Amino acid sequence: MNAILTVAWKEFRDDFRNRWTVALTALFALLALGIAWFGGAAAGRIGFTSFDATLASLTTLGAFVIPLIGLLIAYDTIVGERDDGTLLLMLSYPLARGQLVGGKFLGHCAALAAATLAGFTLAVAIMQVMQPSAQTLAAWLYIGRFILSASLLGASFVGLACLISVLTTSKSRAAGLALIGWLASVVLFDLALLALLVVSGGNPIERAVYPYLLLLNPVDVFRLVNLAALGNGAGNELLTGMTAGHAYPAALLYGALLAWAALPFAWAALAFRSKEV
Amino acid sequence: MSHAIEFEGLTKRYGMLTALDSVSASIPRGQVIGLLGHNGAGKSTLIKLVLGLVAPSGGRLEVLGHDPWRAPALRRAIGYLPENAAFYPNLTGRELLDYLAKLKRAQRSQVQALLERVGLADAAKRRIGTYSKGMRQRLGLAQALLGEPELLLLDEPTTGLDPQASRELYRIVGELRADGRGVVISSHLLAELEPHIDGALILRQGRLLAAGSLAELGEQASLPARVLLRPYEYAVRELLERLANHKLSAQPRPDGRLELELPRAAKLRALRALVDDPAIADLDVHEPTLTQLYDWLGASPDRPPEERA
């Protein structure tokens, strides 16, 4: 465990040193504030409207941005060390391979979670100072749930990035695969489900299965966690159409997110054990 | 446990490629051993096996009394300097050593002492990205010495070092030998390596060509000694005649000296005669070098063993 924490701390510091953490904090804070103030611009309103509307927009945007950041921050975690010639040195230390991947995974997850926490907390604090109507406990609960689920969503894509990094043989290939992974989970998965929905028509058995198919994509689970809490009207229509008002227990959704954070990483650790160096 | 490394029938295959083919040898503690062979001879594979980074395909391997593949904790007792050592450019030299010391559970107090030992104390707070190749190599040596390892594996350790730094490296290697630690040095620089090693392990295309102390290898090769004579100018003709009578043929050199080869069996008798010869003002005896041994064994890729004399 000590070795995992040592590697994790080094990765966390590296992300901080490379200004990843600061840049992401600023990005998240700016996104949140931008959406809060300009989210209603299309309807001709500028200024803070409501937390529901802000969070719904943030969820939609987060579902695009956070997976991409998770992949970007970690796609070269192992293959980069191999390319740079440091992997052999690291493996010559009394460190199990699972500990090396585990430490890197934890470190990147912690950096991403720290940026999410700092960025969005800062944004909510600013909103509450500028807008007295936003000074509610509910606002903090919403954003707390959002930060937790966003961190777990980030962790699942950091895990996926670790897996890609272990299985590929060059940084450029890993970057390409990471982009394909992002596209598949953020865009193609939902499109495929929609196509299936259209083709199958109103088959009741299949309609009963769809809500659970959404759990196969962490991005959709993240949307479900946040949009389900907001009630009707605030969620996006695609999701509402898919779920058909299905009620998900919170434990199921968080369990699915946790599984998504753990499984790709576990696969990465296993694959790395048998990898020739 | 008198051997640092011991292996028997050690084989490593990567798919269809046999990187090491049933190799047997042992490396005693307290000795410095040269691991020699051209690229692709199997040196790196042997080092990876010793570090427990790859599993053997066959045979037995013991490092400090343990199977390295099954006992990864053994790596605490091994120091390794990879060829063309690369480190994290964003870290400073001290930060890297602090990090690696934690991983090796070595005392942090060693870090400063090691930085001073390899002459990097002044650059300890600089980012590694700004280091020269020689400085990176010295940092590599420092990290290999973390935790006072019982066995040191140095892969091309003097690459990028200036002559003074190379001497310093070999001085440290000498101290480790005196401490009873085993040191394996993989290198192509045979002439530079020769004075600092006790023995050699020579590989060619995954097979062991020879292993043993330099004296044993010399005996095995039975290469002639080379003698350089400086004759008095007025006596050159007589000297050549006398040498011819002893069935020794001397080749004149541009510097006026004569060069002749003495077969091992006849060396001592011939040398006695030469020392007493009044036509000779001075003489130097050159034993076969590691490079000559290496060539004789056919380790050079351009000279396969079946062609040797």
Contact A44, A132 (CB under 8 A): no
Q: Which of A21, A93, A97, A277 to mutate to test the interface with B (most CBs of B within 10 A)?
A: A93
> Could you say which architecture CATH assigns to the domain B3-219?
3-Layer(aba) Sandwich (3.40)
Task: Report how far residue A246's alpha carbon sits from residue A237's, in angstroms, rounded to the nearest whole number.
Answer: 14
C-alpha radius of gyration, chain A, whole number: 20
Subunit contact A88:B104, Cβ cutoff 8 A: no
Query: Tell me: the pLDDT tens digits for A49-74?
Result: 777 777 888 888 889 999 999 999 99
Comparing CA positions, the residue from B9, B16, B42 lying closest to residue B202 is B42
The answer to whether A87 contacts chain B (CB < 8 Å) is no
Size of interface A-B (CB pairs under 8 A): 56
Task: Report how far residue A62's alpha carbon sits from residue A227's, in angstroms, rounded to the nearest whole number.
Answer: 12
Q: B3-14 and B78-81 as β-strands: parallel, antiparallel, unpaired?
A: unpaired
Query: Tell me: the pLDDT tens digits for B106-132?
Result: 998 999 999 999 989 999 999 999 999
pLDDT band at B147 (very low <50, low <70, confident <90, very high): very high
Q: Is the pLDDT of residue B259 over 90?
A: yes
Q: Where are the beta strands (DSSP E) in chain B?
A: 3-14, 17-28, 32-36, 58-63, 78-81, 151-155, 182-186, 199-204, 207-213, 225-231, 251-252, 258-262, 280-286
Residues of chain B with C-beta less than 8 angstroms from the C-beta of A14: 88, 90
The pLDDT, as a whole number, for residue B306 is 45
In chain A, the residue whose alpha carbon lies closest to the alpha carbon of B69 is A96
B9: left (phi over 0), alpha (psi -120 to 50) or beta: left
pTM of the model: 0.85
Task: Report how far residue A164's alpha carbon sits from residue A175's, in angstroms, rounded to the nearest whole number.
Answer: 9
Q: Is the pLDDT of residue A108 over 60?
A: yes
Looking at chain B, the whole-number percentage of residues with pLDDT higher than 70 is 96
pLDDT band at A242 (very low <50, low <70, confident <90, very high): low
In chain A, the residue whose alpha carbon lies closest to the alpha carbon of B12 is A276
Q: B151-155 and B78-81 as β-strands: parallel, antiparallel, unpaired?
A: parallel
Residue of A93, A96, A276 lying closest to B100 (CB–CB): A93
What is the ipTM for the molecules in this complex? 0.84
Residues of chain A with C-beta less than 8 angstroms from the C-beta of B86: 84-86, 89
Q: What range defines the domain where residue A119 resides?
A: 2-273
The pLDDT, as a whole number, for residue B292 is 86
Q: In the sheet where B280-286 sits, what is the strand order?
A: B251-252, B258-262, B225-231, B280-286
| B208, β-bridge pairs | B203
For chain A, how many structural domains are there in total? 1
Subunit contact A17:B85, Cβ cutoff 8 A: no
Task: Report how far residue A229's alpha carbon sits from residue A214's, in angstroms, rounded to the nearest whole number.
Answer: 17
B152 C-beta neighbours (distance < 10 Å), count: 24
* Length in residues, chain A: 277
pLDDT band at B188 (very low <50, low <70, confident <90, very high): confident
- Domain boundaries along the sequence of chain B: 3-219, 224-287
pLDDT band at B89 (very low <50, low <70, confident <90, very high): very high
Residues of chain B with C-beta less than 8 angstroms from the C-beta of A16: none
Token digits of residue A243: 């779920």
Comparing CA positions, the residue from A6, A155, A154, A167 lying closest to residue A76 is A167
Does domain B224-287 sit in CATH 3.30.70.260? Answer: yes
